[in-house]
Amino acid sequence: MSARSETPGGPAIATHGLSKRYGEIEAVKGVDLEVGRGEIFGLLGPNGAGKSTMIKMLCTLTPPTDGTASVAGHDVVRRQADVRRSIGLVFQEQTLDRYLTGRQNLRFHADIYGVPSGVAEERVDEALRTVDLLDHQHRAAGTYSGGMRRRLEIVRAMLHRPAVLFLDEPTVSLDPQTRQTIWDGVREINQRDGTTVFMTTHYLEEAENCHRIAIIDRGGIVALGSPQELKDSVGKDRVELDSTDSAGVDAVLREVFDVTAVVEGDKLVFHVAEGEKFLPELFSRLDGTVRSVRVTQPSLDDVYLSYTGTSFRDADKAEHDEDTRLVGR
């Protein structure tokens, strides 16, 4: 019997006050969250925000310090074995046996999870077709490209038909074309089997594939909703302006319109409601100093900036720099 048919009703994932501390460091802070069955749910945040710690707690790899969590109706502390039978997990680090062929890797996984032999062969064939690896099934996995190995890992995690598939940074370091191929496969699995997908990412464009997103910052959830709902919540257009007198433009924005701009590269960037209507009034006060201007509707980076006070990419870089500094000690 599949893990899916054994799981009780209710949300696919539910947490209440979920926290994790390492000494004085609180990696996850009192998270309350529900993920519906059949949902593709994204946890978006820069490196070090608490994403991987969340997945480790939900997958029973590390116990919570406080709070509760259930996956497929099973408590992650009291019913760890049930949780593990109900999930598929793809780590950031690749875990294939490089000396086994692609097919052997899949069959070994099916055997571990007790998939009946006849069913296992059918599922392995189906999995290889799904990620376009039938022609490479008898090659050692160590000879695969990074994208091929990642595609194989994702379908391997689905062979036992888990209720919830966890993907921890599934496309990190992959090229855009391979990332798109992987996402096509994830959507097919979600639609075909009704599998709940819970993924972490720090790629803004990747988060657009999710039904809902939670933005995590310094261990806490700061925003939750569909990509469009989050962008609508910002409610302002992004304006990128290149001027021969950036200081003068900045002064006019602050003193006349009470608008704060930031410097990104050689441009001033600020956010205003109805940017196209705002610009003529601004231009009338600038004496022809504007060289170019671009107005765009809010992006997920704008959402992150609105809720955290820093741009997503700046936060990601800051975390990376801090990690590098600590490693260098």
Topology of 3-226 in CATH? Answer: Rossmann fold (3.40.50)
> How far apart, in whole angstroms, are the C-alpha atoms of residue 48 and residue 92?
14
pLDDT in tens, 169-217: 888 878 888 888 888 888 988 998 899 999 998 788 888 999 999 999 9
pLDDT in tens, 206-263: 889 999 999 999 999 999 999 989 988 888 888 999 999 999 999 999 999 999 999 9
pLDDT in tens, 140-176: 999 999 999 999 999 999 999 999 999 998 888 788 8
User: Within its chain, how far is the Cα of 108 from the centroid?
Assistant: 28
Six-digit token string for 157 = 């995690």
> How far apart, in whole angstroms, are the C-alpha atoms of residue 197 and residue 269?
35
User: Within its chain, how far is the Cα of 276 from the centroid?
Assistant: 32
- Look at residues 112, 106, 210, 191 and name the one whose alpha carbon lies nearest to residue 153: 106
Pairing type for strands 262-264 and 220-225 reads unpaired
If one compares 28 and 314, the residue with the highest pLDDT of the two is 28
Six-digit token string for 195 = 């599998």
Burial (0-12, 13-18, 19+ Cβ within 10 Å), 218: middle
CATH architecture of 231-320: 2-Layer Sandwich (3.30)
- Look at residues 260, 217, 220, 252 and name the one whose alpha carbon lies nearest to residue 236: 260
Domain boundaries, the chain: 3-226, 231-320
